[in-house]
Amino acid sequence: MTADWGDALGGTVVLAEKWPVLGRHERAVGWLQVWADLGRAPRTIDAYSRGLAEYLLVCEREGVDPLTANRAHVALFVRELTSRPSRRGANVVSIDSGAGLSNATIQQRLVSVRLFYDFLMEEGLRESNPAGRGRYTPGRRQSGQQRGLVPRMTKLPWIPSEQQWLDILRVARDEPIRNRVMLALAYDAALRREELCSLRTDDLDPARRMLRVRAETTKNRLERMVPYSASTGVLLSGYLTHRSTLSRARGPLFLSESRRNHAQPLSLWTWSKVVRRIALEASVPRFSTHTTRHLCLTDLARMGWELHTIATFAGHRNTDSTLQYIHLSGRDLADKLSRGMEHIHAWRINMLTSTEPQRCPGDGSDVRGAR
């Protein structure tokens, strides 16, 4: 691994230690450096590095030069991903385990390989991309319909049941005020983990109970203003008083209270560990830092918020992302079922109380009413 690459990726040596195979492939280093120079988020670079490193390891194992690999070699990589045994059982919580990869994670790995070969084509080192974006599906009338190397599964987000939510609250009630206010804001404002941990004191507007989610902290670089409730405001006020005992300086809102990082900004990983500990203590292992966001948006859909309003609140660039919460809430289906049942109910009552022959809905038969 070259020192220049470490500097390009923010001076970190973590990637070099984690995936030394990348340092053995000059073009891989060059590709990642381009993304780093373009200012991609560290987590994006990390995901690209992980996916490409796993592919390069398969190439080395098979004695294949990645620059001349064909679709059969990429298919071999796909088979390795889809058949990889799970060391932790069927339900793997962390993708860092290197086992039991989900469909979404496999798609993410393939994105890294696909973009790497796009880069090689742009550099004139290849004429085609062996990990192309699929092929046209026979029988599809709509132009542009493609089928990828691995069928993409679209699953609805997981949200806890009411009892599971109460179990989480029971455990959270005994947490320090910082953790309680972070959970409250994460749900109240439907914040992503990075958005929550990146909040600053000057992002708050206590008078109007609003907070600003800065563009550079969001997934799609869309800044937004979101409200929070009065009860969260009371909790937040208590935390600000507590925070002043750690630091009176303006800056990151949530600070570490550990001896090692006292009064330093709270890291994403520390918050993840806090939520994981709460989830395990509450016996709700599927609960994660993103669950509060899923739950909030689903609750808004249940309350009848319009699609575009929820999308604006969530910071979604496309309403396709918002639709999954409408589906998860069952709102549209429940409304249709309710309207349909009202019609059937009215027909049955009318049939019971009428002395005239009744026609069954949907067919041509007559039914004699009760006399």
Question: Which tens digit of pLDDT belongs to each residue from 346-366?
Answer: 767 677 776 666 565 555 555
pLDDT tens column, 164-216: 999 999 999 999 999 999 999 999 999 999 999 999 999 999 999 999 999 99
Q: What is the pLDDT of residues 249-296, one digit of tens each?
A: 999 999 999 989 999 999 999 999 999 999 999 999 999 999 999 999
Q: Provide the pLDDT confidence category of residue 321 given band limits of 50, 70 and 90.
A: confident
pLDDT at 94: 42
Given a cut of 60, is residue 137 above it in pLDDT?
no
Rounded to a whole number of angstroms, the distance between the first and last alpha carbons of the chain is 91
The predicted structure's pLDDT at residue 122: 93
Across 223-240, average pLDDT: 95
pLDDT at 64: 93
The domain 162-315 having CATH identifier 1.10.443.10: the answer here is yes
C-alpha to C-alpha distance for 80 and 12, rounded to whole angstroms: 29
Per-residue pLDDT, 359: 61
The C-alpha atoms of residue 226 and residue 188 are separated, in whole angstroms, by 9
Locate the domains of the chain by residue range.
3-138, 162-315, 332-367
The lowest-confidence range among 7-11, 16-20, 346-350 is: 7-11
**Confidence class for position 136, pLDDT limits 50, 70, 90:** very low
Over the stretch 85-114, which tens digit does the pLDDT of each residue have? 654 455 444 444 444 577 778 888 999 999
Q: What's the whole-number mean pLDDT along residues 303-314? A: 92
pLDDT at residue 229, as a whole number: 94
Is the CATH number of domain 3-138 3.40.50.620? no
Report the pLDDT value the prediction gives residue 358, as an integer from 0 to 100. 57
Q: Which of 276, 293, 277 is nearest to 94 (CA)?
A: 276
pLDDT digits (tens, 9 = 90+) for 26-78: 899 899 989 888 888 788 888 899 999 999 999 999 999 999 999 999 999 98
pLDDT of 371: 38
Out of 30-34, 129-133, 197-201, 315-319, the most confident range is 197-201
Residue 333 pLDDT > 80:
no
Find which of 201-205, 327-331, 334-338 is predicted with most confidence, using mean pLDDT.
201-205
